[in-house]
Structure formats: structure tokens, C-alpha cells
Amino acid sequence: MKKTLRISLLVLFLLVVIFVGLAVYFLAKNTSVFSGNLDESQLVANNQNTDVLQDKYTQLQEQKVSVPERYKKGVFAEARTLSLPIDFKISLWAAELDNPRQIDWTNSGTLIIADRGSSSIKLYKSVTSNDYVEEVATVDTNLNQPSSVDFYNGDLYVGTQDKIIVYKNLLEDGTYSDKIILVDNLPTSVSPASHKTRTVKIGPDQKMYITVGSSCNLCLETDERRATMLQADLDGSNLKVFATGLRNTVDFVFKATPNAFTIWGVDNGRDLIGDDLPPEEVNIIKEGRDYGWPYCYGSGINNPEYPERSGYCKTETEGNTFGLQAHSAPLGLTFLVNDDLTQRVKFPQLDFSNDLFIAFHGSWNRTTPTGYKIVRLNTSEANSKEVNFITGWVTNNSVWGRPVDVKFDKNGDMFISDDSANAIYKVEYVGVE
């Protein structure tokens, strides 16, 4: 009996030691579990442009978000303010969604939303007012975490955790001629560490591009499709790995010229090596290239778990094009003009023509929270750093919104999805075009 008790106590002691050790390790790696609120200096550092050359577009001014009466409830029951440059106006365009992720438009301007929380694809457009849009149709329901939508040549392509689906000949009432599963066996996982978004877009070359995130923070994947960009024909055939080492590229865009195009993507870096490591990445994604994960990050730097890969990281992987603030969680991105060269441009072209606008979803494991904003990055300068464009979703003591997607419609206005406030915002340039 005494021997059994001693063994039980020893097992309990070992379990306590393991638990304490894991807790110490977890906290030492700068998680925000026990971090306090942002103080005023930290808030200014995150929400203003204090360390860049000041001009009319780097000086952000607080303004009240214009909210239609019908949406003055929930998060928007109280007045909300955001900061953005002079000559820009922001308004609430849609609300009462459920974890909206990526957005797109039909040819007539109906807004398409991947509403992940309701497991559905929804259509929104102006019905009774020109100041906001309302839900007019549901294209499909009971989907497995739909996260991306791409309207191409009258067909709607949708990325869910396990499938890529096309809805042929989508009409404004949400009906379609056929639903076809193009890819039906993408890797899935119930683990909270697994990245579950699947982004699908059709390129100027009429090929389908798909990104699949990693299953973990840092590991060697057993499924070669994890942490990659895939490419396929429009019917889903000839699916292949296009690029590797992309831990979690939630969004990408095609930057087109009349004769060619490049693929720009943002990649979310690993956790648990510090508040300011590794940098989040902007990559120009090329066929056959390895972007480093899990062995490397940034410009060919090996992760501490893989010291033997130092030479490999320096010589055999593609370094990032730009580094961004660690743990900002960049999700959506867009240029003023991407692959649609006929799109109207309202924003000042001389100032923003080379700028990449990026949605920072915000940190979850940084001692001092960071992100929760829209930034812009001048891609014409090799060592460019991000500049705040719209901020204010994080305050001294709370986060009330988290930007996900950022896109321009054909009319040249910017739209932002927010999966925390469950909203879509419209940003208009009201200066002289």
C-alpha cells in the first residue's frame, strides 16, 4: 500500500514539474496571456506614424465611423472611431455577419462574402438605401469553414477547408446552373494549431491557384500539400505543388502588366521565439521556389530548432521580399490595381501607385499587442517598411475589430472585412481626383 502511494506521489510530482516547466516555457516565449493593456505610448506607436516622414497621408486623423441606423446595435450600438488620412471617409457598409472572411463582387457590383461562422456564402447589395447593403441571397450553406471567394467569368470559386468548389453561372439571386467540386480532398485537421483557410484565385493565365497553410506552428509535414501554393487547371485537373515553405499564406494577388504577371502573397510567421521574431513576410511567389518554412524564416535565417540548416537556408531558399512587424498576422492584401487593368482608380495614384495595402488581423501571443489595422507598403523601395493607413480597432483596454480582407471594387472604393465586429467597411477618397 505504501509502495503504491509513493509511486502515485512520484507520478503526481513529475506531472506538476512537467506542467510548471511548460508554463514557464510558454510565458518565457512572450505570450500575451498575462499582458496588461496598452499604455498611451504603446497605443500611439501602434496607431500613429511617429517614425516616418510626415505628409498629408501619413498624418492620421480620428473620425467617427458613419453607421446606418439599422446597424446601430451590438458592436456599433456605441459610436466607433477610426484614424485615417485626411480626404478619406470610412463608413459601415454591412453588419450582422458571422465571421466574414474574404470578399469579392459580381459583375454588377453585388458583394460576395465568405461568411465562415455561418458556414455559408452570402450575397449583399443595396436595396433600400445607397448608404449600406443588405443580405439578398445565400448561395450555399453547410460548408466546411468557407474562407475565400473569387468571381471569375461568371463563375464563383470558393475555398473551404477540405474542398475547392465552383458555382457555374452565378446569378444575382444566388442561384447557379451547377455546383462542381473541383478538389475534394484537401488536408483537414481539428487541431487549433492547424491553419484551416484555403484561398483560391484564378490567375491571368487561367490557372487556379490555391494556398494551404501548415498543420502546426513548426513541424515536418507528412502531407506535401501543406504550407504550399498549389496550381491546377480550371477543372481541378493537373493539381500540383507550385511553391513550398509558405507557412500560412492566407491571401495573394496577381500584379499584372499587359504581357506578364507576378504573384504577391503575405505569409504568417511562426510563434514562440520572441516579440519581434520572426518578421511576417511579403513574398513574390515563383514556381518551384522554397520559401523556407519550417527550417527558415525571413531572408534565409534558420530557426533555432534547426541549426544544421543554416547553409540550406542561406543558399537554397527564397528570402522574403519585405519583412513586416512580427505577430501582426497579415491576411488580406491588394494593390490599387491588381489583375484587372480596367478598374477605376480613385485613390491618389501619384502617392499610392506602388503601395500594397495589407490587413493586419492582430497578434495573439505578443507581450505588447500589435496590428489590428490597415497598412500600406511602398513596393518600389527595396527596404520599405509598412506605414499605418487605418488604425483604431485596438484601444487602451480592448480590441473591437480585426481586419481580414482588403479589396478595391471596380468603382475604385476600398472595402474591408472584419471578422470580430462581423462587419464590412467602405473607404472612399473624398479629395480631388
pLDDT digits (tens, 9 = 90+) for 194-224: 999 999 999 999 999 999 999 999 999 999 9
pLDDT of residue 155: 98
pLDDT of residue 7: 61
pLDDT of residue 9: 55
pLDDT of residue 343: 84
Q: What is the pTM of this model?
A: 0.92
pLDDT of residue 10: 58
- For residues 156-166, average pLDDT: 98
Q: What is the DSSP letter of 50?
A: -
The SS3 call for residue 110 is coil
In CATH terms, the superfamily for domain 36-429 is: TolB, C-terminal domain (2.120.10.30)
- For residues 253-271, average pLDDT: 93
Q: How far apart are the C-alpha atoms of 416 and 366, rounded to whole Å? A: 24
Residue at 23: amino acid letter? A
pLDDT of residue 29: 40
DSSP secondary structure of 260-324: -EEEEEEEPPPSSS-TT-SPEEEEEE-TT-B--TTTEETTTEEPTT-GGGHHHHHHHSPPPSEEE
Write out pLDDT tens, residues 368-377: 999 999 999 9
- The band of 339, judged by pLDDT with boundaries at 50, 70 and 90, is confident
Structural contact between residues 280 and 268, judged by C-beta atoms closer than 8 angstroms:
yes
Q: How far apart are the C-alpha atoms of 198 and 250, rounded to whole Å? A: 7
Q: How far apart are the C-alpha atoms of 272 and 64, rounded to whole Å? A: 37
- For residues 72-83, average pLDDT: 97
Write out pLDDT tens, residues 141-155: 999 999 999 999 999
Structural contact between residues 82 and 403, judged by C-beta atoms closer than 8 angstroms:
no
pLDDT of residue 6: 60
Q: How far apart are the C-alpha atoms of 186 and 287, rounded to whole Å? A: 20
Structural contact between residues 111 and 83, judged by C-beta atoms closer than 8 angstroms:
no
In Å, what is the CA distance from 56 to each residue of 86, 89, 118, 153, 381? 7, 14, 41, 39, 20
Q: How far apart are the C-alpha atoms of 194 and 247, rounded to whole Å? A: 11
The CA angle 398-330-365, to the nearest 5 degrees, is 50
Q: Which residue has the higher pLDDT, 26 or 132?
A: 132
**H or E element that contains 17:** helix 2-28
Three cell numbers at 388? Answer: 499605418
Listed in sequence order, the residues at least 6 apart from 322 whose beta carbon sits closer than 8 Å to its beta carbon are 281, 282, 377, 379, 384
Q: How far apart are the C-alpha atoms of 265 and 254, rounded to whole Å? A: 9
- The band of 33, judged by pLDDT with boundaries at 50, 70 and 90, is very low
- Of 298, 307, 250, 308, the closest CA to residue 276 belongs to 298
- For residues 61-90, average pLDDT: 97
